[in-house]
Structure 1
Amino acid sequence: MTTRSVLDLIKAGEQPVTRIRVLIGESDDPERRGDKKVVAFSDCRYYCPDWATLEKCVAAIKDSDDRLRARPEELMLWDWDSTWLQLDNPTNPTEGGGTIFLGVAWYSQEFFDDRAGAWFGYMHQRIYKQIGVPLEEISVQHFLTAEKAAWKPELETATAQ
């Protein structure tokens, strides 16, 4: 298998994918995380079919972040990661939609276990409908950190022969 660089792709006429950071989250702002340890991470992707839906989605995430930031520190059991936007039509952004990439950092295993499925609960489904994001255009994947994962690789030691 041959690996091609971004420069090889551009030279071949392929357009690189550009993602624009639209909101700063905990991974790009060390003060937000402080000394909390991430135990899990959620990768959330929302396809917005048009510019108006993109605007509403980003505004809803910002509003949610503002409410989250207003909580006392002891209730900060999770936080948003930075939010990114990938446009369908970068040369004319208002003509078309795009994908919002959002992460969630979880600081409590118990809270993650209890709330990881909230993204598809009744309240969130209502929000998606108000924004205009079709349910079939939402994907969420959860990942445990290496320290919390049940499976741990066996470390092989080199033996002198």
Structure 2
Amino acid sequence: MSSEVSLDFIPADPVVWVRALEGEGPGTPRRGDKTLVAISQCTYYCPNADIAAKALAALKDSDDRLRQRAEELMLWDWQNTYWEADRDNQAGGGTIHLGVAWYDAAFYNDRREAWFGAMHQHIYSKIGIPVDGISVTHFLVDPAAA
């Protein structure tokens, strides 16, 4: 008996996310035995290709600095970072999608809004990311489901 699967649900011009930077995730050495307590899903709209390149380079630099910390200071980590080109943007702009994994509840509660603090505002301005193009959504992890 042959079973056919239809792919009719896939649009002719699907949205494509390309992994730009590798991060932590379930089963990765980066997470180790840490317990995930929260995740922040972040998006950054980059108006052109130059801003996107600067933003990805800044995220890479931040990840490189994070990797140099002692393991006991690893209270958060970047998850995979993806690039989604805006097909209607002739300047090569698009959206960067990334996640932040939080391993310590007190640290998460203290730092969860850091993305909107003065230091990050300065970084966004320097790179050229408009603040109204940034979205951050936080999710708490149910320990019973983890």
Q: Which runs of 4+ in 1 moved over 4 A?
A: none
Name the amino acid aligned to 1:31.
P
Task: Name 1:51's counterpart in structure 2.
Answer: 49
Cα deviation, 1:48-82, whole Å, max 9, x if unaligned, reads 00000000000000000000000000000000000
Task: Name 2:3's counterpart in structure 1.
Answer: none
Q: What pairs up with 1:1-161 in 2 under 5 angstroms?
A: 7-10=8-11, 14-27=12-25, 30-89=28-87, 95-147=91-143
Give distance in 1, aligned partners of 2:60 and 2:27: 15
Q: Secondary structure of the residue that 1:42 maps to in structure 2?
A: strand
Instruction: Say if 1:53 and 1:132, in contact at 8 Å, map to a contact too.
Output: yes
Cα deviation, 1:105-159, whole Å, max 9, x if unaligned, reads 00000000000010000000000001100000000010000128xxxxxxxxxxx
Instruction: Say if 1:51 and 1:94, in contact at 8 Å, map to a contact too.
Output: no
Cα deviation, 1:82-107, whole Å, max 9, x if unaligned, reads 000000139xx974200000100000
Provide the aligned C-alpha RMSD in A: 2.2
Give distance in 2, aligned partners of 1:20 and 1:9: 17
Instruction: Say if 1:6 and 1:16, in contact at 8 Å, map to a contact too.
Output: no
Q: Unpaired runs of 5+ in structure 2? A: 1-5
Choose between structure 1 and 2 for higher RCO, CA contacts under 8 A separated by at least 6 residues: 2
Instruction: Pick the structure with more helix per residue.
Output: 1
Q: Secondary structure of the residue that 2:25 maps to in structure 1?
A: helix
Name the amino acid aligned to 1:102.
L
Q: Specify the structure having the higher radius of gyration (Cα).
A: 1
Q: Secondary structure of the residue that 1:114 maps to in structure 2?
A: helix
Q: Unpaired runs of 5+ in structure 1? A: 149-161
Give distance in 2, aligned partners of 1:56 and 1:40: 27
Q: Secondary structure of the residue that 1:30 maps to in structure 2?
A: coil
% identity of equivalent residues: 53
Number of residue-to-residue matches in the alignment: 140
CA distance 1:40–1:110, change in 2 (3 Å): same
Give distance in 1, aligned partners of 2:121 and 2:62: 15
